[in-house]
Structure 1
Amino acid sequence: MTSTAAAPRPAASEAAKPAPSAPTPAPTIMAAAVTNVPVTLVPPTSAQALNLFEAPPPPRRATETLEEIRTDLGDCQRCKLAKTRKHIVFGEGNPHAAVVFIGEGPGADEDEQGRPFVGRAGQLLNRMLQAVGLKREEVYICNVVKCRPPGNRPPEKDEVEACSPFLFRQVAAIKPRLICCLGAPAMRTVLGVKEGITRVRGRFFDYGDAKAIVAFHPAYVLRNPREEKILREDFEKIRDFLKTSG
């Protein structure tokens, strides 16, 4: 599927022009044990497009609510996915969640119901949450794009550019301690990481004053059942982080 303040920049673009000062460092890969710091995420402006391999654009404002962002999104016609969707899938969960899970985009079941992660991948996500003592209603769940790509294909660059500013505004409104990127599209959009997901999954990154972790998308695990153990291990890291950072 705009006074301006400094935004969290998890990774510097290789294509960006050099600035007079030292360049912003790339996201820092951290060990599993991390310490918590207060979150001050600020959402990006929708006036600037997000490149899949660049950090989020500059901020909008830090006082929005999820309801205001949803109202601003409206009956979105900002990309071609609007022509084929049934429902906008904005996201759901605790508006003050400690952890936000970000997937790729809605599937057929999500498009039908207008809710994120309600199909088979969502059932696996629910099991992983339950296995580590988390409840779905305690977390927040959303996607990089809010409308289903036809045939469940990956979202295209222009679709991500149209939708990602709303995603970053959601994250800023929630102010989580941890962001979990489920799958490569979420990893690239949120963190600007170019490496393969198998090399970085399970590791923590700095994201402004919050942290981010990369995990396999549940849909990938359904196609590759042997990876379920790895997904479980990453969810255990999420649990341990929340216990030690609170």
Structure 2
Amino acid sequence: MTKKFLDQNMSYREELLNSIEPNFIFSDKPLNRFRIPKTENNQNKLDKNTKILELKKHINSIQNCNLKDNAKKLIFGDGNISSPIMIVGEAPGVEEEKTEKTFQGESGTLLEKMLKAINIEKNSIYSTYAINFRPPEDRKPTSREIKRYSVFLKEHISIIDPQIIILFGSTAMEAVISSNERISNERGKWKEIILNNKTYLLMITFSPSYLIRFPENKKFSWEDLKKIRQKILELKIKF
């Protein structure tokens, strides 16, 4: 793939990204950091915030959960609750526990670069996890744990009510579409899920933490990101 050279103001970002992934290409169009999120009436925002707080309390009150008992903090979600884009990661790690925010540390840095490569700022969208507590020793959640927390995740999605959902990793995939297939077979395809009688469009791709461990798969994630960008343009989604 031929690289597109950017102007001097953008070159430092290309250099930094290329140190991790040589296949991502930034757009030569400057990011609009002053985009105004889609308007939403105050009552609707109030209702969303109320429902989010209720769901958070509900998750924090669950009993007999090894994940909760061994974790330090609940990592719920953050970002723009009115965003048309919602991203779902697998589970929080040590950096997320420290900050109580999603996608921190090295994987968070990579995620931000991936999103910026298709002109999306992380703080303009909403992000959460399939599992809201850090698994012991950062192990993969069991299918039983994923199923238990999937109820909360699906309610979370219904509250945010996005136009597009991006699932990062096999745990998020299993939680939302109940698939145990290899993520390499499921990624890169537009799928639909119905929650509370509403259809949501979603895309599955590799998680940033996985890509750090297996950088040879970043070229596939770039293909997925391009499809997401194209769908945003087709649906005329604004941030």
TM-score, normalising length: structure 1: 0.70
Equivalent position of 1:178 in the other structure:
164
Equivalent position of 1:240 in the other structure:
230
Deviations 1:201-222 (A, max 9, x none): 1111011222111100111110
Give the aligned residue type for 2:206: F
Equivalent position of 1:82 in the other structure:
68
Please say if residues 106 and 146 of structure 1, whose CA atoms lie closer than 8 Å, have aligned partners that are also in contact. Answer: yes
Uncovered stretches (5+) of structure 2, i.e. residues with no partner: 1-47
Compared CA separation, residues 192 and 106, structure 1 to 2 (3 A): same
Deviations 1:113-149 (A, max 9, x none): 2111112111111110111100111211111110000
Alignment of 1:67 with 2:78, yes or no, is no
RMSD: 1.9
Please say if residues 146 and 171 of structure 2, whose CA atoms lie closer than 8 Å, have aligned partners that are also in contact. Answer: no
Equivalent position of 2:219 in the other structure:
229
Residues 123-134 of structure 1 correspond to what in structure 2 (within 5 A)? Answer: 123-134=109-120
| 3-state secondary structure, aligned to 1:194 | coil
| Partner residue of 2:77 out of 91, 105, 111 | 91
Distance in 2, matches of 1:78 and 1:236, equals 42
Instruction: Kindly indicate which of the two structures has a greater share of residues assigned to helix.
Output: 2
Equivalent position of 1:9 in the other structure:
none
| 3-state secondary structure, aligned to 1:65 | helix
Shift of 1:245: 1.3
| Range moving further from structure 2, 76-85 or 131-140 | 76-85
Please say if residues 147 and 175 of structure 2, whose CA atoms lie closer than 8 Å, have aligned partners that are also in contact. Answer: no
Distance in 2, matches of 1:158 and 1:186, equals 13
Distance in 2, matches of 1:235 and 1:212, equals 12
Aligned residues: 185
Compared CA separation, residues 69 and 236, structure 1 to 2 (3 A): same
Give the aligned residue type for 1:147: F
Shift of 1:64: 6.4
| Partner residue of 1:145 out of 112, 119, 131 | 131
Please say if residues 79 and 162 of structure 1, whose CA atoms lie closer than 8 Å, have aligned partners that are also in contact. Answer: no
Compared CA separation, residues 103 and 63, structure 1 to 2 (3 A): closer
Distance in 2, matches of 1:195 and 1:165, equals 20
Uncovered stretches (5+) of structure 1, i.e. residues with no partner: 1-61
Deviations 1:60-104 (A, max 9, x none): xx9963233223334554511122211110011111221211111
The share of aligned pairs that are identical, in percent, is: 29
| CA radius of gyration, larger in | 2
Distance in 2, matches of 1:124 and 1:75, equals 33
Residues 1-246 of structure 1 correspond to what in structure 2 (within 5 A)? Answer: 65-74=51-60, 76-208=62-194, 209-246=199-236
Compared CA separation, residues 86 and 63, structure 1 to 2 (3 A): closer
